[in-house]
Amino acid sequence: MTVSALIQQQRQILHTLHSAVSQYQQQIAEAQERLERTLEQIQADKAAAEQEAKREYEQARDKYITTILDAELPMSGVKEEHRASREQAREKLRAQMLSEIEKNEHITVKADFESGDMSSIKEQIREVGRISKKSVDSESLLGATLLAIGFLIFVGLLIRLVFFHQNLILCQRLGVFCPSSSLQQGSI
């Protein structure tokens, strides 16, 4: 082989390597863009799920308070002369219950914990129990306890739904087989 043929062969090899590197860089950039879009979609889905959960929680809280008010201070069968005082008592009890709920709002279950972090969940449940025992009077003790339990169950289900949905979306976008999602895909 001549020197010019060797130089030509080296140029072809370098050109092929350069083309391969460029192609891989382009594939990496495309994969990174897909990943960024997937992450943005997950964040948007998470925000929407949080808003929906907050709305549903507020509706459930209002329905619960109304149920407690109807059980404690029913309006049916109340004579007209006692109706105004009954309405005042209902408003006072409603304000008291809302106040207790607002006091306990600093106790939140974070949706970004890892699935194996059971100790923090148990600690938050204990904290809810301590606050409920200290601050709730005997008339609304049962109501506050049921509200706390219902809230924790609701948040637990919400967290499970959000993580399952995020994992399912991520698996689908990346084209990865997820055994848990293929078994339960029809349940979403």
pLDDT digit string, tens, across residues 101-120 = 877 765 554 444 444 455 66
Give 77 or 187, the one with higher predicted confidence. Answer: 77
- Within 13 A of 84's CA, how many CA atoms are on the CB side? 1
Range with lowest mean pLDDT among 36-40, 51-55, 119-123, 165-169: 119-123
Q: Tokens in use for 10?
A: 């080296």
Torsion sign across C-alpha atoms 89, 91, 96, 101: positive
Summarize pLDDT for 56-99 with one digit per residue, the tens. Answer: 988 988 888 888 888 888 888 888 888 888 888 889 988 988 88
Mean pLDDT throughout 35-55?
A: 91
Given the structure tokens 């030509």, which residue do they identify?
8
Q: Is the pTM of this model over 0.85?
A: no
Tokens 């006072």 sit at which residue?
92
Distance CA 70, CA 18 (A): 77
Cα separation, 137 vs 142, whole angstroms: 10
What is the distance between the alpha carbons of residues 39 and 176, in angstroms, rounded to a whole number? 16
Phi/psi of residue 2, each to 5°?
-85, 165
31 vs 133 pLDDT, higher one: 31
